[in-house]
Amino acid sequence: MYVEKWDKESRNFRKQFPSETTYSTNVVNGELLFQIQTYAASQQTGGAKQTIQFNKQGAIDLIEILKREFNLPL
């Protein structure tokens, strides 16, 4: 999944169980992309459970969201 825009949604959720998480970067068509992969608790499935990609602007937007939501210093 490639993130073009971050929209806030109001919903209740529970804390998930920890899972293996990795990240990677790659240049695709001249654009640097950042990718996060999460994996099932059991590696029997063999592949990533969820993959999220975003570009530099998506990263900037996400950093601003995290600063605001966690009340982090600017």
Give tens-digit pLDDT for 26-70: 999 999 999 999 988 765 566 768 999 999 999 999 999 999 999
Residue 34 placed within a domain: yes
Q: Please answer whether residues 26 and 33 qualify as being in contact, where contact means their C-beta atoms are separated by less than 8 angstroms.
A: yes
Residues whose CB is less than 8 angstroms from the CB of residue 26 and which lie 6 or more positions away in sequence, other chains included: 32, 33, 35
Residue 33 placed within a domain: yes
pTM comes to: 0.81
What is the model's pLDDT at position 1?
A: 87
What is the model's pLDDT at position 45?
A: 60
4-28: average pLDDT? 93
Residue 56 placed within a domain: yes
Residue 74 placed within a domain: no
* Residue range of the domain that includes 32: 21-69
Split at pLDDT 50, 70, 90, the class of 11 is very high
DSSP-derived pairing of the beta strands 21-28 and 31-39: antiparallel
Q: Sheet containing 48-54: give its strands across.
A: 21-28, 31-39, 48-54
Residue 6 placed within a domain: no
What is the model's pLDDT at position 43?
A: 56
| Number of domains composing the chain | 1
Residue 57 placed within a domain: yes
Residue 35 placed within a domain: yes
